[in-house]
Amino acid sequence: MRKFKTESKKLLDLMINSIYTNREIFLRELISNASDAIDKLYLKSLTDASANVDQANLAITLTADKDARTITVSDNGIGMTAEELEKNLGTIAHSGSEEFKAENAEAQGDAVDIIGRFGVGFYSAFMVAKEVTVVTRAFGSDECNRWTSDGVEGYTISAVPTDDPAYRATCGTDVIMALKDNTDDASYDEYTSEYTLKDLVKRYSNYVRYPVQMMVTKSRQKEKPADAGDDYKPEWESYEELETLNSMTPIWKKRAADVEQSEYDEFYKSTFHDWEVPARTFSLHAEGSLEYDALLFIPGKAPFDLYSRDYEKGLELYSSNVLIMEKCADLVPDYYNFVRGVVDSSDITLNISRETLQQNRQLQVMARRIEKKITSELEAMRDNDREAYEKFFDNFGRGIKYGIYSSYGMKKDELAGLLFFWSAKNEKFVTLQEYAEGMVEGQSQIYYAAGDDRDRLAKMPVVKAALAKGYDVLLCTADVDEFCFQAMRDFTATGLAKVYEDDAAREAAEKAQADGAEAETEDRALMLKNVSSGDLDLATDEEKTAAEKTAKANEGLFGAMKDTLDGAVAKVTVSAHLTGEGDAPSCVTAEGPVSLEMEQVLAAGPDGGENAPKATRVLEVNAAHPVFAKLQAAQEAGDAEKLALYTSLLYDQALLTEGLPVADPVAFAQNVCKLM
């Protein structure tokens, strides 16, 4: 027996047991080696007329023998001489494929696309085999040689006589694996199953450029005998047929003009196990220092576990048509975690196991390009197919909003244009840009209300007050909306009518337009404002002055009301935007960074409870409402009990209107009964 060169026992043990994390990839590695061997023969035929290669006959064959417990991977590639067996298999980590590529790169240029790089893939066979035999015959040689090893100490190389059944009549290689004995933890017999082998080929080697073939057992109905009676029952028989297991040509390598959408749909459904067709299909091809192809899909509906902790994002990553990673998470940002697809590049630098990448920079380059492509496709859907985009946003908009929040607003410039919100004024979904374009003259903020129900939000006093003044209000019902807006702070609208600093500048512009000049536009940063915030600035100067006077004149009343509420509010004051008899008698607003909606969301979270952040509440009273006169009368009469009753009812009523729970429902019910 010949010893492996290098520190064989330690290094071989490392190759077999430490490099790969999943033993089923042994088949991927051996098929890749077989593909390389066929490539070498084909490339040699380009310069050697004696090769006489018929491309139609080039193939890789799998054979499983359940009784003998063996698996054989055969190819009709270039084969190896005894010396090459010694060099390629006897020297661990020597890559014949890499050497061949280096020797032929200058002559063949881009035509050399060899999968193997490290010379260790072959040894993955020992993860499932207790003995591996390689029978090979080199192109142009009459000799056939056998290499045998148990993967422990060394190997033997011997000539195969011509009368030996294992002798190859043509060039090529057979890799025969005698499977390990089954254990309580692992059943190696599964690798002799037709179903398992077909599944592994489909999953890892579906797009190897040569057919991977195997004899499979099928059934068919026997022909009905001519003398069969009316009571004849159909009979079935089993037969074997050579079947090609892989697709060979990746759909993402084909020109888009040559592929029907139905083909993309079928590929998507079969690859990603979805019943529905994708909402959007798009591809990109990058050239330069890093070349790659990508085929991407936006699903028609959200997966049931999209927002669970168990959901794994990522695109399938291929290298030279061989699957490297089923879900490469680094290729898509979290807010595009719903995107599915494949990326294929022969330029990426893999680690020795070919299961992960060696250089993050390459991933980053691809990820940036892919992200831009996804964004542009979503923008096109938003602008050209509104109905489809609304459905998309209903499925995946929450993640995009969360992307702005989780990036602390740093991604708002890229993602804000994709956001959709319900317009209370127009009663339809609008973008922030569309909201800005519909603002009334003099409006400098985007107003929104956050809660769990659109109809209830539309009936809130502060929303109705804003609408009455001509301002639109975005009704936000997702739990992440408030956090998203807090992170954004503002939105830069583009192409808005220019606001002039003074009358002279405006008149000059109007004169220029009258003479044929185009109207001037500008980009403007608009603050995002919750209508339930205490510093909402909707009132006119006159309304503000009147509210201040009323508040000052009723300091004693408001102080008594605050004391009655016993710390539930920071203050009680006159509302500057509830100014009519028909408006609500009161409303609750919040001061500071924590809004009323944020308080509710945080309280419902895993860290909720007594320690959750609280909003600083303010009770605003409508001084024009008849209820206010009742409050004043109770205060002037010194009827503290009645004032306390009115105050409690007014506050609880305002909470219910905001969709907030009252602190003591029993006390609220009792107070209503007292009033009755």
Strand arrangement of the beta sheet that strand 60-65 belongs to: 2-3, 154-159, 145-149, 129-137, 172-179, 70-75, 60-65, 212-221, 236-244
Q: Residue 14: which pLDDT band, with cuts at 50, 70 and 90? A: low
Mean local confidence (pLDDT), 612-624: 88
Percentage of residues in the chain having pLDDT higher than 90: 52
Report the C-alpha gap between 333 and 447 in whole angstroms: 29
pLDDT, residue 118, reads: 35
Within the chain, which residue ranges are assigned CATH 3.30.565.10? Answer: 2-217
Whether 172 and 79 have beta carbons less than 8 Å apart is answered as yes
Within the chain, which residue ranges are assigned CATH 1.20.120.790? Answer: 541-675
Q: How many CB atoms lie within 10 A of CB 93?
A: 13
Report the C-alpha gap between 617 and 122 in whole angstroms: 70
Q: In terms of DSSP bridges, do strands 428-430 and 322-328 run parallel, antiparallel, or are they unpaired?
A: unpaired
Q: Is 346 left (phi over 0), alpha (psi -120 to 50) or beta?
A: alpha
Q: Is the dihedral of CA 590, 594, 597, 601 positive or negative?
A: negative
* 281 Cβ neighbours under 8 A, 6+ residues apart: 261, 264, 265, 268, 295, 296, 297, 298
- Kindly report the pTM of this predicted structure: 0.76
Report the C-alpha gap between 500 and 509 in whole angstroms: 9
Report the C-alpha gap between 132 and 157 in whole angstroms: 12
pLDDT, residue 108, reads: 45
Mean local confidence (pLDDT), 299-328: 88
pLDDT at 538 over 90: no
Burial of 643 (0-12, 13-18, 19+ CB in 10 A): buried
| pLDDT tens digits along 160-186 | 999 999 999 999 999 999 999 999 988
pLDDT, residue 107, reads: 47
Mean local confidence (pLDDT), 542-551: 86
Length of the chain counted residue by residue: 676
Fold (topology level) of 420-530 = Rossmann fold (3.40.50)
Q: How many CB atoms lie within 10 A of CB 562?
A: 18
Mean local confidence (pLDDT), 57-78: 95
Whether 614 and 593 have beta carbons less than 8 Å apart is answered as no
| pLDDT tens digits along 385-416 | 999 999 999 999 999 999 999 999 999 999 99
Within the chain, which residue ranges are assigned CATH 3.30.230.80? Answer: 251-388
pLDDT at 325 over 60: yes
Within the chain, which residue ranges are assigned CATH 3.40.50.11260? Answer: 420-530
CATH fit for domain 2-217, picks 3.30.565.10, 3.30.450.40, 3.30.420.40, 1.10.10.350: 3.30.565.10
**Nearest Cα to 312, choosing from 296, 324, 323, 325?**
325
Mean local confidence (pLDDT), 47-63: 86
* 84 Cβ neighbours under 8 A, 6+ residues apart: 96, 138
Report the C-alpha gap between 74 and 88 in whole angstroms: 17
Instruction: Report DSSP letters for 235-272, one per residue.
Output: -EEEEEEEEE----S-GGGS-GGGS-HHHHHHHHHHHH
Mapped to the 3 state alphabet, what secondary structure does 78-90 carry? CCCCHHHHHHHCC
- Write out the two tokens for 289: 């220092």
| pLDDT tens digits along 266-302 | 999 988 989 999 999 999 999 888 899 999 999 999 9
Instruction: Report DSSP letters for 208-243, one per residue.
Output: -SS-EEEEEEEEEEPPPPTT--TT----EEEEEEEE
CATH fit for domain 541-675, picks 1.10.760.10, 1.20.120.790, 3.40.605.10, 3.40.190.10: 1.20.120.790
| pLDDT tens digits along 79-134 | 999 999 988 887 664 444 445 445 545 544 444 444 444 356 788 899 899 999 99
The helix (H) or strand (E) run that includes residue 73 is: strand 70-75
Strand arrangement of the beta sheet that strand 421-423 belongs to: 428-430, 421-423, 473-476, 445-450, 521-530, 490-497
Report the C-alpha gap between 339 and 297 in whole angstroms: 6
CATH fit for domain 251-388, picks 3.90.1150.10, 3.90.1300.10, 3.90.950.20, 3.30.230.80: 3.30.230.80
| pLDDT tens digits along 311-320 | 999 999 988 8
| pLDDT tens digits along 239-270 | 999 999 998 888 998 888 889 999 999 999 98
Pick 45 or 358 by higher pLDDT. 45
Mean local confidence (pLDDT), 126-150: 94
Within 13 Å of residue 644, how many CA atoms lie on the same side as its CB?
10
pLDDT, residue 114, reads: 41
In angstroms, the first-to-last Cα distance of the chain is 104
- Secondary structure of residue 671 in the 3-state scheme: helix
Alpha helices in 518-676 (DSSP H): 541-553, 555-565, 596-604, 626-636, 640-657, 665-675
pLDDT, residue 8, reads: 52
**Nearest Cα to 247, choosing from 267, 265, 262, 273?**
267
Q: Residue 45: which pLDDT band, with cuts at 50, 70 and 90? A: confident
